[in-house]
Amino acid sequence: MLVDILRGSLPLAGSDIARHWDVFYAFLVWISVVFFVGVIAAMVYFSVKFKARAGGKVNDVHGHTGVEILWTVIPTILVFTVFGWGYALYRDMVTAPGDAIEIRVIAKQWLWQFQYDDGRMYTNQVFVPVNKPVKFVITSEDVLHSFFVPNMRVKKDAVPGRYSTVWFEATAKGEHDVYCAEYCGTSHSGMLAKVYAVSPEDWSRFIQGKEINTQTLAAVDDQVTTTHASPSLTRAPSLADKGRELAATKGCVGCHSNDGSQKAGPSLKGVYGHPVDLANGDRVASADENYLRESIENPTAKLVKGYTPVMPTFQGLVTEPEMNALIAYIKSLN
Ligand code: CUA
């Protein structure tokens, strides 16, 4: 009920996490209302009661231990409640379930690119299914941006040189705005995109290679689109396929095998998501996107045990979409 009163001032709640954020938000608002009313009422009461009067005398004010304990303990409990609740929600927002569909997001001045496992890439529009968790792996090509989908109540910074993740499960079919929520230069306010949440039927056709008509939010049949040849005949290479090609053209395969055998560098097989022992005795708990990226751009930073630091840096030699493809390829070797 207390949440519903605020509903009119909030954007559509298009995901489960949105509903949870809204309850938390309502708690913050109503707590503020209670304190605002209490403080103003006390102020008015005191100004009337202790109004300066002719012949009035000022009394000394002494401490009151009971009241002091009360006004220390209650705010402390409230502050820790806000922290604990907010932290739990934040953790839910950034920790995607294992079976989430993965979409890579590349921010740059001033647009959004979305890269799918099947190699397709879209600018300023991204398609997601309803009622399925979707994880976004976000990075930036230039400066700080922030991926913000108000209807889903998720926001995550896009940081150049590293990956951050956020996820949601859309519950409302339709079109949802994406904003950039970090000032990033001249056209920051124009850095907009759309999330199109489509039905499970249209999603399954989408992942078979069909396109989504953004007006009707339905998958388009091949007869209608003449721009695409039959996907069964000219199946576009997947992101991992592109990564395999890149590993060859960039020369990675000279030193890194894909079958577990040792060359000058460690094999790429089965690296992703597994622990890695380092030459300095440290251990990387899980080789994730950020670890793989660092190992490509700054290979000596976390030298793998048993190898010599002979790999040159690839900093600036791999574009963001290429980096995503290389990582998708390494993941596919598990
Ligand atoms: Cu990108 Cu602001």
Q: What is the pLDDT of residue 222?
A: 56
Name the residue with the closest Cα to ligand 1, atom 1.
145
**From CA 237, how far away is CA 120, in angstroms rounded?**
9
**From CA 199, how far away is CA 128, in angstroms rounded?**
9
What are the structure tokens assigned to 166, written together?
């956020």
Ligand 1 atom index nearest CA of 110:
1
Over the chain (334 residues), what is each successive 10-residue block's mean pLDDT? 78 90 92 95 93 77 89 94 96 91 94 92 94 95 95 94 94 94 93 94 89 83 49 66 86 84 86 89 89 88 87 86 90 88
**From CA 263, how far away is CA 24, in angstroms rounded?**
53
**From CA 251, how far away is CA 229, in angstroms rounded?**
32
Spacing, Cα 110 to ligand 1 middle (Å): 7
Whether 182 lines ligand 1, by a CB cut-off of 6 Å, is yes
Whether 188 lines ligand 1, by a CB cut-off of 6 Å, is yes
**From CA 71, how far away is CA 17, in angstroms rounded?**
33
Q: What is the pLDDT of residue 91?
A: 93
Helix pair angle (16-49, 65-94), 10° resolution: 160
Spacing, Cα 168 to ligand 1 middle (Å): 21
Spacing, Cα 144 to ligand 1 middle (Å): 7
What are the angstrom distances between the C-alpha of 330 and each of 245, 255, 325? 12, 14, 9
Q: What is the pLDDT of residue 15?
A: 92
**From CA 126, how far away is CA 137, in angstroms rounded?**
13
Spacing, Cα 191 to ligand 1 middle (Å): 6
Q: What is the pLDDT of residue 235?
A: 59
Output the pTM of the full model: 0.79
Ligand 1 atom index nearest CA of 185:
2
- Other Cβ atoms less than 10 A from the Cβ of 122: the count is 18
Q: What is the pLDDT of residue 299?
A: 87
3-state SS of 115-181 is ECCCCCEEECEEEEECCCEEEEEEEECCCCEEEEEHHHCEEEEECECCCEEEEEEECCCEEEEEEEC
Alpha helices by DSSP H, the chain: 2-7, 16-49, 65-94, 200-206, 239-249, 289-297, 320-332
Q: What is the pLDDT of residue 209?
A: 84
Whether 191 lines ligand 1, by a CB cut-off of 6 Å, is yes
Q: What is the pLDDT of residue 157?
A: 96
**From CA 168, how far away is CA 139, in angstroms rounded?**
17
